[in-house]
Amino acid sequence: QDGRTHFTDTIHRQRIIEEATQKEESAKRTYGFKLAPLKVPTQIPARQKTERKETRDWGEQSRLFQSAVTTQVDALADELGLPANVLHEIGAGWRAGYEQITFPHKDDTGKVIGISTRKLVTGEKGSVKGTNVGLFYADNWDRGGPILLVEGQTDTAALLLFNLTVIGRPSNVGGVEYLASMLRDIPANRNIVVIGEEDEHVSKLGDEIFPGRTGAISSAERLANALNRQILIAFPPKEHKDIREYVSQHHEVSELLGAFQESAEIVRPRATAPTL
C-alpha cells in the first residue's frame, strides 16, 4: 500500500512540473520573461474516504405504507384466496406510485430491517432499495404448538388463518441465522418444522430441479447444527405446490397437520456443528 501511494505521489508531482515548464516556456516566447519558480508539494494529501451511513427508519417506512392501504390488500387477499386480516397481521402495506403491496422484513428481535414488495397486478416480487433481508412474522407470532417455518409471506399468512405458530423464511435457503437466534431457547420437546415447497423447475442445463425441497433440507440441516437439536422437515399435501395453495382451496387444518406429520423427516445435528 505504501509503495503504491509513493508511486502515485511521484507521478502527480511530475505532471505538475511538466505543466509548469510548458507555461514558463510559453510565457517566455510570448512576453519575454520567466514565471516565478513553482513550488511543488513534497507530499500529496490523501483523499478522504467518506462512509455512507444507513439512516432510514424501516419501521417508520413500513408504518407509512400500512397507513396508505385502502382496498389494495383486500384485492391481493381475493387473488390469493385468503382473508385480508392475515395479510395485515404480517404488516401488509401499499407503496403508492409503484402499485406494490409491501411486507416488512424483521430481524430476530422484531425490528423492521427492510421491505419486500409485490406488484399487485403482475405479482412481480422485489424489495425497496437498501433492504436488509429478514423474516416475516406477526408481532404475536408464538401461539404454542409446533413452530412452522414456511417460505415467503403468503404461506406465513395462510397458516395464521389457523392461528398456528409460523415464521416466514425470505427464500428457500434464507433467514437461518435469524431463526437460530429466535429459537435458541425453545425446549427440545417442542417441534421445529421446516416446511418445504413442491415446486419443480428446469435448469439452464435442462435438468429438473426442486429448489423448494432442496432448500428446506439445507435450511433444516443448518438450523439443526446451529441449535444442536433435531429439526423436522415436512411438505404440503400431495398435488399442492405450497401451503397457501392448499389453504385457499381446503381450509382444513387437521388434514394439513396430518400431511405434515405423514411427510415429516428428522434432521439431526452433526457431531461437530459448523458455523452458519
Class of domain 135-269: alpha beta
Contact indicator for 178, 170 with CB cutoff of 8 Å: no
Query: Which CATH superfamily, name and number, covers 57-134?
Result: DNA primase, catalytic core, N-terminal domain (3.90.980.10)
Residue with the bigger pLDDT between 240 and 189: it is: 189
Average pLDDT over residues 67-95: 97
CB half-sphere exposure, 93, CA atoms < 13 A? 26
**Cell 404488516, residue located:** 91
Measured in whole angstroms, the distance separating CA 163 from the mean position of its chain's CA atoms is: 25
Q: What pLDDT score does 199 carry?
A: 74
Least confident window among 27-41, 118-132, 211-225: 27-41
Domains 57-134 and 135-269 alike in fold: no
Q: What pLDDT score does 240 carry?
A: 85
Consecutive H or E run containing 73: helix 72-80
Average pLDDT over residues 75-82: 96
Average pLDDT over residues 179-195: 97
Q: Is the pLDDT of residue 53 over 50?
A: no
pLDDT class of 224 with cuts at 50, 70, 90: very high
Least confident window among 44-48, 108-112, 189-193: 44-48
71: exposed, middle or buried (Cβ count in 10 Å: 0-12, 13-18, 19+): exposed
Residue with the bigger pLDDT between 163 and 52: it is: 163
Q: How is the chain split into domains, by residue range?
A: 57-134, 135-269
Cβ neighbours of residue 200 closer than 8 Å, sequence gap 6 or more = 208, 209, 210
Phi and psi angles of residue 234, each rounded to the nearest 5 degrees, phi first: -145, 170
